[in-house]
């Protein structure tokens, strides 16, 4: 049996003897990363420094880092060091905050990795959307299948709009619902993921044009930045949906993107994160952040996506 590393050595961080050392190092490292300042894009401390900090061997440290790389939180770059994947870090920081105000999903409960939750106060954010003339004038609205905008989907149906909603995970195409063709008493059900397929028409990518011209895109998010980047779950469904709609010409040329989020999901400008798509307006439970202006001065990479 190999000689067991001990934390009896004088180190700065105490590890307990009853769990595998690399797991403890992994968890502590993860906590350190999440506690960093959001704008901090410097690499992690060097290997020797981290070995000293935790009082572990190179092998143990590397194993811990490898796990976090596989997990998406860190990226190891040959010769440059180990970096934090900002986007993933933002997700995790926001999920921690969001769990305080999130409403459980009917299937995923509070496993925020799986879905975008509704939150306490979402009705206030919805009101901000509904006050906008772009909302009032939109005939066809693309609505993400996020729980945080279920009540907006309902409002759209009640206002006689058409809404285009992807099925969860885009696995079974899009559903097109027409508020004028669904009975009033069915609107609440039609606005849910459980109910929408009973009242809408299923459209595959090839049929998307039947939706008409989309004037407005409304989405929830895992996080948004104050300069208008949308950060979804790791799967980037919105980016994919956006691209499909764009290529098929169903998005009107001046289509706008509104995000509905809780305050705790808004983060300040962040380096290196690639947005799913660019936002024009962020509506939260307490404020409205108009990000039209910054878009003009956004880096070219961002404009291209838009």
Partner 1 sequence: MSGVLSTDQYREQIWAELAKVARPDSRFHWDFSSFICDFIGSEKCSDRVLELDALKNRGNRQIFITPDNCLEDLRYKLIQRGIPFVMTTYGIVRGFYRLDPTTIPVSDHHYAATLDGFDRYAVAMPLAELQKGEKFALLVTGGSAVSNNGVRFGKGHGYFDFEWAVLSELGLTDSSSVVADVVHDCQFVNEVMPAEKHDVVVDWVVTPTQAMHIDQSSRQSGRVFWELVPGTEFEHLGIVAELRAIQNLGPF
The separation between CA 291 and the C-alpha centre of its own chain, rounded to angstroms, equals 18
Asked if residue 168 binds partner 1 (CB under 8 A), the reply is: yes
Draw the binding track, 111-150, toward partner 1 (x: CB under 8 A; -: no contact).
Answer: ----x----------------------------------x
From 40, 186, 274, 290, residue interacting with partner 1 (rule: CB under 8 A): 186
From 93, 112, 193, 257, residue interacting with partner 1 (rule: CB under 8 A): 193
From 58, 131, 172, 303, residue interacting with partner 1 (rule: CB under 8 A): 172
Asked if residue 104 binds partner 1 (CB under 8 A), the reply is: yes
Asked if residue 159 binds partner 1 (CB under 8 A), the reply is: no
CA distance 60 to 23: 9
To partner 1, the closest distance from the beta carbon of 194 in angstroms equals 4
To partner 1, the closest distance from the beta carbon of 70 in angstroms equals 24
- Per CB under 8 A, the segment of 66-74, 134-142, 164-172, 256-264 that binds partner 1 is 164-172
Tell me the three state secondary structure of residue 37. Answer: coil
Asked if residue 173 binds partner 1 (CB under 8 A), the reply is: no
Q: Which residues contact 221 (CB under 8 A, 6 or more apart)?
A: 116, 146, 230, 231, 232, 259, 261, 265
Q: Which residues contact 131 (CB under 8 A, 6 or more apart)?
A: none
Strands laid side by side in the 266-267 sheet: 230-231, 223-225, 266-267
To partner 1, the closest distance from the beta carbon of 240 in angstroms equals 17
Asked if residue 195 binds partner 1 (CB under 8 A), the reply is: yes
Strand blocks (E) in the chain: 74-77, 81-84, 102-103, 118-119, 140-143, 162-166, 174-178, 201-203, 214-219, 223-225, 230-231, 251-260, 266-267, 281-283, 288-290
CA distance 114 to 105: 9
Helix runs in 76-149, H state only: 86-98, 122-131, 133-137
Asked if residue 197 binds partner 1 (CB under 8 A), the reply is: yes
Nearer Cβ to partner 1, position 85 or 144?
144
From 39, 106, 235, 247, residue interacting with partner 1 (rule: CB under 8 A): 106
List residues near partner 1 by CB under 8 A.
103-109, 115, 150, 167-169, 171-172, 184-186, 188-189, 192-197
């Amino acid at each position: 049996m190999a000689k067991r590393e001990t934390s009896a050595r004088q180190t700065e961080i105490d590890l307990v003897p009853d769990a595998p050392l690399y797991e403890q190092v992994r968890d502590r490292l993860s906590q350190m990363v999440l506690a960093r300042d959001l704008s901090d894009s410097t690499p992690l401390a060097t290997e020797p420094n981290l070995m000293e900090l935790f009082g572990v061997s190179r092998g143990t440290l590397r194993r811990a880092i490898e796990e976090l790389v596989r997990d998406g939180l860190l990226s190891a770059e040959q010769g440059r060091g180990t970096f934090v994947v900002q986007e993933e870090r933002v997700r995790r920081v926001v999920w921690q905050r969001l769990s305080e105000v999130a409403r459980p999903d009917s299937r995923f409960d509070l496993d925020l990795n799986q879905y975008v939750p509704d939150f306490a106060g979402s009705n206030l954010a919805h009101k901000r959307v509904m006050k906008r003339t772009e909302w009032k004038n939109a005939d066809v609205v693309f609505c993400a299948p996020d729980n945080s905008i279920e009540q907006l989907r309902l409002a759209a149906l009640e206002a006689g709009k058409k809404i285009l909603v992807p099925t969860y995970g885009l696995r079974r195409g899009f559903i097109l619902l027409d508020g004028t063709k669904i009975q009033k008493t069915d609107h609440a059900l039609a606005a849910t993921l459980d109910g929408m397929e009973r009242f809408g028409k299923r459209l595959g990518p090839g049929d998307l044009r039947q939706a008409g011209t989309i004037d407005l895109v409304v989405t929830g998010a895992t996080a948004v930045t104050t300069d208008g980047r949308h950060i979804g779950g790791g799967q980037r469904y919105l980016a994919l949906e956006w691209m499909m709609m764009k290529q098929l010409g169903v998005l009107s040329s001046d289509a706008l993107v509104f995000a509905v989020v809780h305050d705790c999901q808004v983060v300040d400008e962040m380096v290196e994160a690639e947005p799913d798509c660019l936002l024009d307006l962020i509506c939260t439970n307490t404020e409205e952040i108009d990000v039209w202006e910054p878009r003009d001065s956004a880096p070219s990479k961002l404009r291209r996506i838009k």
